[in-house]
Structure 1
Amino acid sequence: MSNELKRGLEGVLVAESDLSYIDGSVGKLVYRGYAIEDLAREASYEEVLYLLWHGELPTREELTEFEARLAEERHVDDDVLETIAVLAEADEEPMAALRTAVSMLSAYEPEPDADPEDLDATLRQGRRITAKIPTILAAFDRVRQGEEPIEPDESLSYAGNFLYMLTGVEPDAVAEETFDMALTLHADHGLNASTFTAMVIGSTMADIYSAVTGGIGALSGSLHGGANEDVMRTLREVDASSKDPLQWAKDAREEGRRIPGFGHRVYEVKDPRAVILEEKLRDLSASNGDDTWLEYTTTIESYLEDEGLTEKGIAPNVDFYSGSVYDHLGIPMDMFTPIFAMARAGGWIAHVLEYQEDNRLIRPRARYTGPQDAEFVPIDER
């Protein structure tokens, strides 16, 4: 057995997967062989969920049935909604509220005694979780704004229904399409920290509620989710400074500041998801007549590119543009990471199901560096 230490499991292979593939050297991302560009622009988020969970794109008939089943699971039990209200009134963080609510959903699971090895039952439970997360998040935000939660509308798409429940207004075509694309772009991304966390939990044959709750916990950390919030804070700082964005970027570099939204553990070039979201930011800016964030982001990106950062493998990642897109859609900044969780839950579930098909408990080892021959001293003699 190799005794080589790999901190952070850097470069360590722990599983085989058919779900997503990343080539960071050229900015390539595929889900089950399909280019992310094609899926984001041509498929709905529901189609992508079907692809991740069932291994192939659905026919029209299969998609219609899948959408209907997902939509009818959107309603959340009143007890869960009451807990969400308590958390909102206590000024709980949205990710913590989501973690608590998803864990609580298991108490109202219609198949509570399902065998963990019954993967069909696990998938049904995962579908319920995925369907209810938008309802949980929208209800939480509305309560803390002093508004009543809005019942889900089964006639709307997954993306459209969330924006409707959040704002009380059905989104226009540009907003719905943009948010749907953002969900697709965040649905899966290899064995990132939150996906691996969910897989470790799934490998113990714990239920899928535990796995998704664990994924939410991992995503809440500042080194994983939340970078788009940092980008948004930066753009607002630029706006408040009254400086030209180019001058602001130059000053930030001279001060030795790190500009968020650049660099990725996998990508050496511009994240393909950032390319797509930049396009949608342009569409949203044209739609509502406000190109402030577009001007700031593109100016900063161009400056850093001229400074040679991209030549060093430090290029825009998905977070550099997603925050601006969400802001245009009227989504509060502290809801950005919970929306990441909403999208990524489908990927977590897919990875757990895939791993459990040939399950082996994930149990790594640590290199022991402590003493081995310590002499025990009774407590009264210490």
Structure 2
Amino acid sequence: MSQTKGLEGVVATTSSVSSIIDDVLTYQGYHIDDLAEKSSFEEVVYLLWNGQLPNKEELQSFSQQLVENMEVPEEIFNYMKAYPIADVHPMAALRTAVSQLGLYDAEADASDIETAKRIAVKLQAKIATVVTGFARIREGKEPVAPKKDLSFAANFLYMLNGEQPNETATDAFNKALVLHADHELNASTFTARVCVATLSDFYSGITAAIGALKGPLHGGANERVMGMLSEIDTPENVDSYIQDMFDKKEKVMGFGHRVYKNGDPRAKHLREMSKKLADITGEDKWYEMSLAVEKKVTDSKGLLPNVDFYSASMYHSLGIDHDLFTPIFAVSRVSGWNAHILEQYSDNRLIRPRAEYVGPDKRSYVPLEER
């Protein structure tokens, strides 16, 4: 029996949701560059779930469905207020809250496609409110209700800060959501599909995916990038800091990718938005440090930045707490998880791979009294 460590290069399923071919990322056949530059996040979510871009009427209806489903049961926020706030990472809070949301949905256990699509809308809408609500509760503030006349991206920033964001901030956040929406069969997406392939419920699938995303080798990487930049502190310290990491054989987070050989195509868009926000805020040291780190790592190791690297300085420029970076990843990626769960339900087969046994062989049982 042949095996590949980490399933690298193994094709585990067929999917029409997204593709990575020759270092080109597409959603349902649309190039990521076109979607990042031209589409709203709502359009991209509709595309991922329906296989086509919406017309004006479809987009208006879908956007309205999302905003109308953003409110969460008050009990969820009451539970959050009982969490040991000082010790709870927002990803742990999100994982718990999404699981709890299933308790308040009478349709939670259904797996027929029409009901599943309604659940997908609920989860896509409510996850933004859960993340922003927790962020405010731990600061001793009350959650902010969404505004029905704001886009998904603008509503997230509004619910987080209690102030309507400017156009540049909204555009930057919208672009980040688009770029993180799906990425073929990554770890969290595979986890979601494995979970619902047992015909477990939608909420379990998303909860499982959040658990996988929480790890620093997946969604947690951008938070660790910002931690590194904070320790470096000034562009002048970059060379010695990164060289010290090289000498200690430590991994520089935000560089390299198992799938892309010539660079992550999403990184350039986030680099551009990081620069734009740095110019507006006047805090350009984070962008300058990022550029310096990129040059050092690329020149020394030949590694190129991935989507996590510049998303860190971009989110920081938006005034977002560093430990919220991964939950924001989830706010976007739930769109892809939902698409893959819908695809799995529509043509399901239990996912049950084999393992190559490498343990001891042909052992003889020794009675207890003789051991």
Q: How does 1:313-332 map to 2 (within 5 A)?
A: 314-332=303-321
Give the counterpart letter for 2:263 in structure 1.
K
SS in 1 for 2:26: strand
From 170, 176, 180, the equivalent of 2:164 is 170
Q: Summarize the Cα distance change of 1:253–1:78 in structure 2 as closer, same or farther, 3 Å threshold.
A: same
Aligned to 1:142: 136
Confirm or deny: 8 A CA contact 1:95 1:337 kept in the other structure: yes
In 1, distance between residues paired with 2:189 and 2:362?
36
SS in 2 for 1:154: coil
Structure 1 residue 153, shift from structure 2 partner: 1.6
Aligned to 1:161: 155
Q: Summarize the Cα distance change of 1:8–1:244 in structure 2 as closer, same or farther, 3 Å threshold.
A: closer
SS in 2 for 1:87: coil
Q: Summarize the Cα distance change of 1:266–1:112 in structure 2 as closer, same or farther, 3 Å threshold.
A: closer
From 32, 41, 45, the equivalent of 1:45 is 41
Deviation sequence 1:191-244 (CA, Å, 0-9, x none): 11100000001111111101000000111122212111111111111116x834
Aligned to 2:7: 9
Q: How many pairs were matched up?
A: 370
Q: Does 1:222 align with 2:220?
A: no
Q: How does 1:18-167 map to 2 (within 5 A)?
A: 18-23=16-21, 25=22, 27-87=23-83, 89=85, 91-112=87-108, 114=110, 116=111, 118-167=112-161
Structure 1 residue 246, shift from structure 2 partner: 3.9
In 1, distance between residues paired with 2:114 and 2:3?
38
In 2, distance between residues paired with 1:88 and 1:291?
35
Q: How does 1:226-305 map to 2 (within 5 A)?
A: 226-239=220-233, 243-254=236-247, 256-305=249-298
Percent identity for Structure 1 against Structure 2: 47
Structure 1 residue 100, shift from structure 2 partner: 0.7
Confirm or deny: 8 A CA contact 2:242 2:293 kept in the other structure: yes
Confirm or deny: 8 A CA contact 1:88 1:143 kept in the other structure: no
Structure 1 residue 259, shift from structure 2 partner: 2.3
Aligned to 1:361: 350
Structure 1 residue 90, shift from structure 2 partner: 5.6
Stretches of structure 2 lacking an aligned partner (at least 5 in a row) = none
Structure 1 residue 302, shift from structure 2 partner: 2.1
Structure 1 residue 107, shift from structure 2 partner: 1.2
In 2, distance between residues paired with 1:90 and 1:120?
41
In 1, distance between residues paired with 2:79 and 2:87?
13
Deviation sequence 1:306-337 (CA, Å, 0-9, x none): 33x33xxx211111100101111111111111
Stretches of structure 1 lacking an aligned partner (at least 5 in a row) = none
Aligned to 2:367: 377
Confirm or deny: 8 A CA contact 2:180 2:329 kept in the other structure: yes
Q: Does 1:192 align with 2:182?
A: no
Structure 1 residue 37, shift from structure 2 partner: 0.9
In 2, distance between residues paired with 1:285 and 1:31?
29
Deviates more, 1:196-205 or 1:144-153: 144-153
Confirm or deny: 8 A CA contact 1:88 1:144 kept in the other structure: no
Deviation sequence 1:237-282 (CA, Å, 0-9, x none): 1116x83434544454455443221111111122111110001011
Structure 1 residue 377, shift from structure 2 partner: 3.1
In 2, distance between residues paired with 1:258 and 1:215?
24
In 1, distance between residues paired with 2:132 and 2:85?
14
SS in 1 for 2:218: coil
In 1, distance between residues paired with 2:247 and 2:195?
45
In 2, distance between residues paired with 1:113 and 1:318?
34
SS in 2 for 1:22: strand
Q: Summarize the Cα distance change of 1:260–1:286 in structure 2 as closer, same or farther, 3 Å threshold.
A: same
In 2, distance between residues paired with 1:185 and 1:95?
20
Moved over 6 A (4+): none
Structure 1 residue 172, shift from structure 2 partner: 0.5
In 2, distance between residues paired with 1:204 and 1:352?
11
Q: Summarize the Cα distance change of 1:10–1:248 in structure 2 as closer, same or farther, 3 Å threshold.
A: closer
